[in-house]
């Protein structure tokens, strides 16, 4: 797929998914904790990436 508009839309969709997961986690009270091990996330890391879902140990490479 080389259509730049389609790629932009896909990027927005991916971000939207991450926002929705963050909102769900906020409602469930698991926001700011690693979704894999439950460890509290570093507040500094959340400042950099408010949508972070995992601690450094379980973070997926981007
Ligand atoms: Zn973890």
Give me the pLDDT at residue 18, please.
Answer: 94
How far away, in angstroms, is 50 Cα from ligand 1 center?
Answer: 16
Write down the pTM of the prediction. Answer: 0.76
Domain boundaries, the chain: 4-48
Q: 35: number of CA atoms within 13 Å, CB side? A: 14
Q: How far is the CA of 47 from the centre of ligand 1 (A)?
A: 18
Instruction: Give the model's confidence band at 32: pLDDT under 50 very low, under 70 low, under 90 confident, else very high.
Output: very high
What does the pLDDT read at residue 60?
77
Which of 21, 23, 52, 49 has the alpha carbon at shortest distance from 39? Answer: 52
pLDDT at 24 (0 to 100): 97
Centre of ligand 1 to C-alpha 16, Å, is 23
Contacts of 56 (CB under 8 A, 6+ apart): 42, 45
Mean pLDDT score, 40-53: 94
Burial label for 52, CB within 10 Å (0-12, 13-18, 19+), is buried
CA of 40 to the centre of ligand 1 (A): 8
């Amino acid at each position: 797929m080389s259509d730049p508009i389609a790629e932009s839309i896909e990027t927005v969709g991916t971000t939207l998914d991450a926002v929705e997961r963050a909102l769900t986690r906020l409602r469930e009270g698991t926001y700011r904790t690693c979704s894999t091990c439950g460890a509290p996330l570093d507040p500094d890391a959340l400042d950099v990436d408010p949508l972070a879902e995992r601690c450094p140990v379980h973070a997926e490479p981007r």
